[in-house]
Structure 1
Amino acid sequence: MNLIHLHLLLNHVPTVGTVIALGLFLVSLVGKSDDLKRASLAVFFGIALLSLPTYMTGNAAQAAIKGRQGVSEDLVETHRDAALPALVLMEITGLVAWLGLWQFRRISRPTRWNLSAVLLLSVVTLVLMARAADIGGDIRHPEIASGTVGSEWIKSASIASFVLGRPWVWPASETLHFIGLALLLGVVLVVNLRMLGIGKNLPFAALHRMLPLGILGFGINSMTGMLFFIATPGQYTQNVAFFWKIVLVMLAGVNLLYLTMFDEPWALGPGDDAPLTSKVIAASAIFLWVGVIYCGRMLPFIGNSF
């Protein structure tokens, strides 16, 4: 399966997934169901993860249909520009939704501001997703197109020009990227090494409060990584190391839900040994994030990056 096929497989997931997550969330609010709240917040987080490869594979699809008869390049570019703010809002929604899951563990329920933020962000995200999807449908079905190509308020080309045209932007973004990575990996190691038996005198619940720092690092990495990708998409979409990096990030994100939603880690008090399942999850988390770092470092040496 190439990246074009992958984009065709994924391109409806963010929009449809957001509809499903928002529907579950609204039902949970009306029915005051904590279980449905958890489920909907987890779905929001999952859709945020899947939105990353959906957007990135879109660049490969754009390159593949460029110059084809009957395909409007202006419409393709507008679709790409429309997808960018939708992606940003989806990532923010996913992070805020995860924070709600974290609050379920820390204080037994999400705060009112968190639920309000998830509701507002998800509605705005759905509107932006639907607009991007509508424009995308016009690309291959010109018979339903309005005939005019609008202009988006955020343009990918302008962001690329900003990143590449100013000598300080890329180094500054790299610095932030490594700071985010340090936060993320530090929390991953501390929390998962505890489950592997190191620092057994510490209860897991005490370490759990560090997870938002890891999510903050993940958010920093996501945003700076998107700047790199938008600036020079071609050097990433054709690089096998980048493909595997994104796959590992997706798996690591799913792995994170175990620490947030499942009860086994929370049963660990001072001196307790984690069950085998928790140890396997912990070892896999460390392996996945080390793999992400390795693939990132291999970008200059595999494929055509840099």
Structure 2
Amino acid sequence: MDAAHLHLLTNHIPILLTFLSVAMLVWAVISKNSEHYKIAFIGFIIAGLAVIVVFQSGEGAEDIVEEIAGVTHDSIEAHEEAADIAWWLTVILGGGGIAGLFMNRKRVKGFKPFVWVLLVYALLTAGYLAYTGNLGGHIRHTELTTDEQQASAVIPNSRSKEDEERMYFYFEMTKENRFGIGG
């Protein structure tokens, strides 16, 4: 298994786990159940740990995919810059999960305001993780990119004229299907 494979296998874990943990934290606030708080906090901690694996495998994945035809340097850079911020947000969220576990267990005064602040922070982090994941999808999923981004993709000169015509035809056909144009 190479870094690109590991990155693809793990990159959804922090995103999904953060969203699920936000939902669990909302449920904990509604139910006022200490165990539900604990589950949400543990979810944030695991997301914080998982994002470390995702982030570490990202550099190796970049080295592999930047050599693939159709992958643009701009799409990789946009994802990488967002990933730097997402990494910090999620690691801090994991720290918030640790603090929440401690506060919940010790019944520390100020627990409720802490939970509300953590909930807002977790929502922002979840949204930013989703944004970062979306940017990562633009690297290889051309159905997510604009026509201008596709046109700027690097196409090696080793392709024959027939290959280029076939690719142009395919691109035009998918554009027609995507936008409901034509036949």
Q: Which TM-score applies when normalising by structure 2? A: 0.76
Deviation at 1:91, TM superposition (A): 1.0
2:62 corresponding residue in structure 1: 62
Q: Return the alpha-carbon distance in structure 2 between the equivalents of residues 148 and 35 of structure 1.
A: 50
Q: How does 1:151-190 map to 2 (within 5 A)?
A: none
1:47 corresponding residue in structure 2: 47
**Change over 3 Å in CA distance of 1:86–1:148 after alignment to 2:** farther
Q: Return the alpha-carbon distance in structure 2 between the equivalents of residues 77 and 147 of structure 1.
A: 19
Q: How does 1:59-208 map to 2 (within 5 A)?
A: 59-107=59-107, 111-147=111-147
**Change over 3 Å in CA distance of 1:110–1:61 after alignment to 2:** farther
Q: Return the alpha-carbon distance in structure 1 between the equivalents of residues 43 and 52 of structure 2.
A: 15
**Change over 3 Å in CA distance of 1:9–1:35 after alignment to 2:** same
* Counterpart contact for 1:79–1:135, Cα < 8 Å: yes
**Change over 3 Å in CA distance of 1:8–1:105 after alignment to 2:** same
* Counterpart contact for 2:71–2:139, Cα < 8 Å: yes
* Counterpart contact for 2:15–2:126, Cα < 8 Å: yes
Structure of greater relative contact order (alpha carbons < 8 Å, 6+ residues apart): 2
* Counterpart contact for 1:100–1:110, Cα < 8 Å: no
**Change over 3 Å in CA distance of 1:99–1:88 after alignment to 2:** same
Unaligned runs of 5+ in 1: 150-306
Q: Return the alpha-carbon distance in structure 2 between the equivalents of residues 39 and 56 of structure 1.
A: 26
Q: Return the alpha-carbon distance in structure 2 between the equivalents of residues 5 and 21 of structure 1.
A: 26
Residue 14 (1) aligns with residue 9 (2): no
Unaligned runs of 5+ in 2: 150-183
Deviation at 1:147, TM superposition (A): 4.4
* Counterpart contact for 2:37–2:104, Cα < 8 Å: no
Deviation at 1:99, TM superposition (A): 0.5
* Counterpart contact for 1:86–1:125, Cα < 8 Å: yes
Q: How does 1:19-30 map to 2 (within 5 A)?
A: 19-30=19-30
Counterpart secondary structure, 1:90: helix
**Change over 3 Å in CA distance of 1:142–1:27 after alignment to 2:** same
Deviation at 1:108, TM superposition (A): 6.2
Deviation at 1:133, TM superposition (A): 0.8
Q: Return the alpha-carbon distance in structure 2 between the equivalents of residues 110 and 34 of structure 1.
A: 15
Q: What amino acid sits opposite 1:72 in the alignment? A: T
